[in-house]
């Protein structure tokens, strides 16, 4: 389950994102980057945000806290821009918030070093969830107080846009060609051996249980939200159990293998 908060104040849009998340204050007096349920990306992006984010957290990766944010769309009245206001009005009810990292700046691979093990862990995680949004152009990595943080997992787990073809995703290779941490990443095979063992059915079930029920209602082809949660778990377990077609081979691994 996600911790639940209620938005009490809308501060400003976070303009760098395509979906324009909002900076909101909640009734726990903390600030959150709020991902709108009424955004064009739809509720599937929020499902991926929660499921992938919770898997990342369970693996010890630095994903900020995720919360369930209840929003009264009346808060939209302080937003002057009509397009954003409409998005807020369409987002009454349940949304997803990410603990706001104050003073954070976007990761720049030319200015910030990442150690090989951390980089390999992040890359392995992105390969598992099929995250297309970690390129050097748009890394969705923030640096706050000298520490790296992972945000924005809404464009991962894309098999859920077409469940009928989900089996085809299980071995689909992850293209790490543009990955922001590619040039830092160390031994992926070692990280695979360690992390794959940690992604147990229990870990995945716990992450799937954190998805707000509202996002799983009326999913075509599924009788009940429980069945959708189980399908996410089965899908990821199958990827982990099968051959590593999905895990990229980095150039330095290849040169070591042929040396």
Pick out residues in 127-186 that bind ligand ATP (CB under 6 A). 133, 138, 140, 142, 151-152, 154
CB-CB neighbours of 153 under 10 Å: 27
Q: Which is nearer to Mg ion, 156 or 235 (CB)?
A: 156
Tokens representing 186 are: 């160390």
What does 14 interact with, of Mg ion, ligand ATP, none (CB < 5 to 8 A by kind)?
A: ligand ATP
Cβ–Cβ < 8 Å for 116, 186: yes
CB-CB neighbours of 201 under 10 Å: 12
Closest separation between CB of residue 129 and ligand ATP, Å?
A: 15
CA–CA gap between residue 14 and residue 22 (Å, rounded): 6
- Tokens 């147990």 correspond to what residue? 200
What does 16 interact with, of ligand ATP, Mg ion, none (CB < 5 to 8 A by kind)?
A: ligand ATP
Q: Which is nearer to ligand ATP, 142 or 199 (CB)?
A: 142
For ligand ATP, the binding residue among 11, 90, 104, 189 (CB under 6 A) is 104
Q: Is 97 in the site for ligand ATP (CB under 6 A)?
A: no
DSSP state, residue 132: -
CA–CA gap between residue 47 and residue 96 (Å, rounded): 9
Tokens representing 247 are: 């895990």
Site string for ligand ATP, 19-38 (x = CB under 6 A): x-x-----------x-----
Pick out residues in 148-167 that bind Mg ion (CB under 5 A). 152
Closest separation between CB of residue 74 and ligand ATP, Å?
A: 23
CA–CA gap between residue 157 and residue 173 (Å, rounded): 13
Q: Which is nearer to ligand ATP, 35 or 239 (CB)?
A: 35
* Alpha helical stretches, state H, the chain: 43-58, 82-89, 116-129, 188-198, 201-209, 225-241, 251-258
Closest separation between CB of residue 126 and ligand ATP, Å?
A: 14
Tokens representing 179 are: 């990955």
Q: Is 64 in the site for ligand ATP (CB under 6 A)?
A: yes
Give the long-range contacts of residues 19-23, CB within 8 A, separation 24 or more.
Answer: 19/45, 19/154, 20/84, 20/87, 21/98, 22/84, 22/88, 23/100
Closest separation between CB of residue 102 and ligand ATP, Å?
A: 7
Closest separation between CB of residue 215 and ligand ATP, Å?
A: 16
Query: What residues make contact with ligand ATP under the rule CB under 6 A?
Result: 14, 16-19, 21, 33, 64, 98-101, 104, 106, 133, 138, 140, 142, 151-152, 154
């Amino acid at each position: 389950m996600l911790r639940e908060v209620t938005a009490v104040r809308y501060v400003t849009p976070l303009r760098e994102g395509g979906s324009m998340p909002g900076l909101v204050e909640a009734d726990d007096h903390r600030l959150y980057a709020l991902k709108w349920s009424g955004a064009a990306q739809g509720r599937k992006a929020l499902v991926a945000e929660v499921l992938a984010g919770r898997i990342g957290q369970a693996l010890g990766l630095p994903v900020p806290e995720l919360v369930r944010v209840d929003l009264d769309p009346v808060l939209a009245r302080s937003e002057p821009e009509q397009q954003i206001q409409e998005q807020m009005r369409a987002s009454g009810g349940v949304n997803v918030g990410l603990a706001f990292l104050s003073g954070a700046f976007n990761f720049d691979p030319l200015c910030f070093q990442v150690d090989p093990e951390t980089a390999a862990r992040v890359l392995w995680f992105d390969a598992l969830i099929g995250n297309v949004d970690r390129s050097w152009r748009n890394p969705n990595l923030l640096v706050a107080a000298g520490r790296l943080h992972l945000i924005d997992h809404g464009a991962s787990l894309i098999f859920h846009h077409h469940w009928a073809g989900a089996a085809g995703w299980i071995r689909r290779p992850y293209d790490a060609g543009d990955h922001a941490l590619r040039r830092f990443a160390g031994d992926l095979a070692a990280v695979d051996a360690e992390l794959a063992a940690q992604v147990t059915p229990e870990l995945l079930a716990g992450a799937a249980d954190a998805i707000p029920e509202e996002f799983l209602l009326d999913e075509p082809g599924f009788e009940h939200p429980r069945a959708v949660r189980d399908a996410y778990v089965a899908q990821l377990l199958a990827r982990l159990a099968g051959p590593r077609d999905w895990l990229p081979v980095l150039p330095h691994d290849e040169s070591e293998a042929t040396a």
